[in-house]
Chains A and B, each alone.
Chain A
Amino acid sequence: MLVKTPSAAILILALFSCNRPDVPVLAPEYLHNVKNLKVITSMINTKDSTISILYGNEQALRFSGDTLNGHQPGEEFEMVTWEQKPMPHWYGTNMNGRILFIETVKVNAGTANGVNFKYALKQGPAAPFIKPKSHQADRINLITRQVAAVFPF
């Protein structure tokens, strides 16, 4: 007897109705590796259709998690910005696509007990090179004035 049980009948019918799924291609080039830095916060830019994560070293995390007063030499910030794209298989979410650029800001000792900021901009791994739309001073301000997001303990 070909069909012994109802469940066997269901299985056979289900097999006939299956579609062969398309396996997606993983994109390691969308990953950004940081060393000894942790996430401070993330940002969604609706005007530029980008999404960013701001990282910092321990000193930068302390500044961002505190009252945002008094930068100290040694703070290091790094912000990676991706283009946004619709999440595959889920209408209702946008996610990061390719990396557009990476910005770093190092806080150094300045004159008269002050500090200065050393800014650097790096292209993402994929061409073309897209630069931030605002000026360097505005970017430094954006990167170094973020309140840390609240994390689980």
Chain B
Amino acid sequence: MKTPGNTLYKRSLIILIGPVILLAALQFFSPAVENPPVKKEIILPADVKAIMKRACYDCHSNQAEPAWFDRIAPASYLVAHDIKEGRSRFNFSDWDANPPAVQQLLLWEMVNAITENKMPLPSYLAMHPEAQISAAELTTLRNYVNTLPGRHKTDTASIVKPGTARQVKPPVPVSLNGIAYFADFKTWQIISTTDKYDGGSMRVVYGNELMIKAIKSRKFPFPDGTKIVKVVWGKQKEDKDGIVYPGNFQNVQIMIKDSKKYASTEGWGFAKFDGLDHKPFGKTALFAKTCINCHRLLVPESDFVFNIPTK
């Protein structure tokens, strides 16, 4: 016979014991953190390495040292996810998997992710306050990236002009995700121009009419059909008046907004064509993931675009 007391007792029991049983069950499927062998560890100055080891290595190396509470489900699922994702972005224990120019870009990206409080992940910091990077440590990291070879790189080679060398005309090059190069951007308005001193290049960035309208209306996100084209040159050596001129043409980069077609990259289709032969960038169509990873991390609030005029 049911009595109100019995029912209340059973309900209390379920409320109290249910989560315990659930947690216990989750432990059986809890992912284990494995550390594959170290292939080629990054070489860093001792002070820089100490910061990276303390704040980044748990997710970005094959030398993860999860705490005891990281190994208990459900936290272990989050830890396993973060390590998998972290290693896929860059791995300090397999540093030579990236060419030198990419290694430098990654180091600048790390400094920016830390500056913007995007890394270490807030969820990681909540459980690992010792991973917090202080302002003085960030200065150490900034000083370090400013010593990288790309920082003061100048283009001293003779400038190769179209018609005098290897420039290839049509067929029109197409990126691996299907975006074809187009030249009509040259009549568009400029939305910004930059001195990218982290890698020794200077850029002019064009926006199509929809982009200009969106900037004028001061509205995010940018509408479908928005297009941005960035032309990139090396930097010649500064002249006696302190002026730096474009060196050789390096590449042209395109972003096209189509929220359905490019849903997996926040609505932006990316393309990059290298050199005067306009070689499409990347080995597979997944190259765009590398682009959006950085844009998603650092500029989500400006519809994932860096080169826009903002106050």
Contacts and interface: CB of A to CB of B under 8 A. Distances in A.
A27 B311 contact: yes
Interface stretch (A34-42, A106-114, A116-124): A34-42
A51 interface: yes
A38 to B, nearest CB: 6
A25 interface: yes
13 contacts: A6-B74, A26-B218, A31-B191, A32-B189, A39-B186, A42-B202, A42-B204, A46-B244, A92-B112, A92-B145, A92-B197, A93-B194, A150-B276
B273 A28 contact: no
A95 B302 contact: no
B238 A91 contact: no
Given A10-B78, A89-B306, A150-B233, A1 B195 contact: no
Interface of A is mostly: loop
A89 B190 contact: no
A17 B121 contact: yes
Interface of B: 22, 29, 73-74, 77-78, 81, 108, 111-112, 115-117, 121-123, 126, 142, 145, 159-162, 167, 169, 181, 183, 186-187, 189-199, 202, 204, 212, 214-216, 218-220, 231, 233, 235, 238, 241-246, 248-249, 252, 273, 276, 278, 298-302, 306-311
Contacts, number: 187
Contacts of B245: 41-43, 146-147, 149
Interface of A: 1, 3, 6, 9-10, 13-14, 16-19, 21-28, 30-34, 38-39, 41-48, 51, 53, 82, 84, 87-96, 146-147, 149-153
A93 B299 CA distance: 14
Contacts of B242: 45-48
B310 A27 contact: yes
Contact of B195 (A34, A48, A89, A93): A93
A146 B310 CA distance: 29
Nearest to B219: A26
A84 B195 contact: yes
Contact of A47 (B78, B241, B307): B241
A26 B278 contact: no
B189 A95 contact: no
Contacts of A51: 193-195
Contacts of B162: 150-151, 153
Contacts of B197: 92-94
Nearest to B107: A92
Given A9-B78, A150-B233, A14 B123 contact: yes
Given A14-B123, A31-B309, A153 B278 contact: yes
Central interface residue in B160, B189, B193, by most chain A CB within 10 Å: B193
A53 B112 contact: no
Contacts of B189: 31-34
A25 B301 contact: no
A10 to B, nearest CB: 5
A43 B249 contact: no
Contacts of A16: 123
Contacts of A89: 112, 116, 298-299, 302, 306
Central interface residue in A18, A95, A146, by most chain B CB within 10 Å: A95
Given A26-B309, A88-B302, A93-B195, 20 more contacts: A3-B74, A10-B81, A14-B78, A17-B121, A19-B117, A23-B301, A26-B214, A26-B215, A26-B308, A28-B218, A38-B186, A42-B193, A42-B245, A44-B202, A45-B242, A82-B193, A91-B108, A92-B111, A150-B162, A150-B248
